[in-house]
Amino acid sequence: MKFGLLVSEGPYTHQASDSAYQFCMAAIAKGHEIQRVFFYHDGVNNATRLTEPPQDDRHIVNRWSALKAEHNVDLVVCVAAALRRGIKDEVLAPGFRISGLGQLVDSGIKADRLVTFGD
C-alpha cells in the first residue's frame, strides 16, 4: 500500500510528529511505501535545521532527514506556512524541500491512503 502523510503539529509541542515518524517506520518495515510527508501549519517546524534539542532528548528533525536519506521519502514543507514562520530554503534541514499545497493534493490522489497527524 502507498501512504501519504500530513503532519500539522510542531516537533516538540504535540505527539503528532513522533507518531507520524513511527508510522512511517512501521509501514516501511511491513513493505509499504511512503509516497510523501507533507508538513503544514506548525508542522513546518519539523523542517528547520535550527532545532537543537538537549543531548538526552530525541532529535526529531534529524529523524526526518534520516528517513529521506535511507528510504527516499519525499519531505515537503508548505511554502505559505513556512514563510509565515520564518522558514526559508536556507534554514531547511537536509532532505526537506519547500513547495505548495498542490503537493498535498497530488499525494492525496496518488497514495492509496492519506493519513493525517495533528489538528
In angstroms, the CA 33 to CA 48 distance is 25
In angstroms, the CA 108 to CA 110 distance is 6
Grid cell locating 116 = 493525517
- Answer whether residue 30 shows pLDDT above 90: yes
Q: Which of 24, 75, 78, 79 is catalytic?
A: 78
Total-model pTM: 0.96
Q: What pLDDT does 119 receive?
A: 85
Q: What is the pLDDT of residues 33-83, one digit of tens each?
A: 999 999 999 999 999 999 988 888 899 999 999 999 999 999 999 999 999
Q: Contact at 8 Å (CB) between 9 and 17?
A: yes
Q: Is 78 a catalytic residue?
A: yes
| Percent of the chain predicted with pLDDT > 90 | 91
Q: In angstroms, how far is CA 5 from the centroid of its own chain?
A: 8
For the segment 95-105, the average pLDDT, to the nearest whole number, is 97
Give residue 85's domain range.
2-50+57-117
| CATH at residue 20 | 3.40.1260.10
Query: Which strands form 113-117's sheet, in the order they lie side by side?
Result: 96-99, 74-78, 33-39, 2-7, 113-117
Count up the domains in the chain and report the number.
Answer: 1
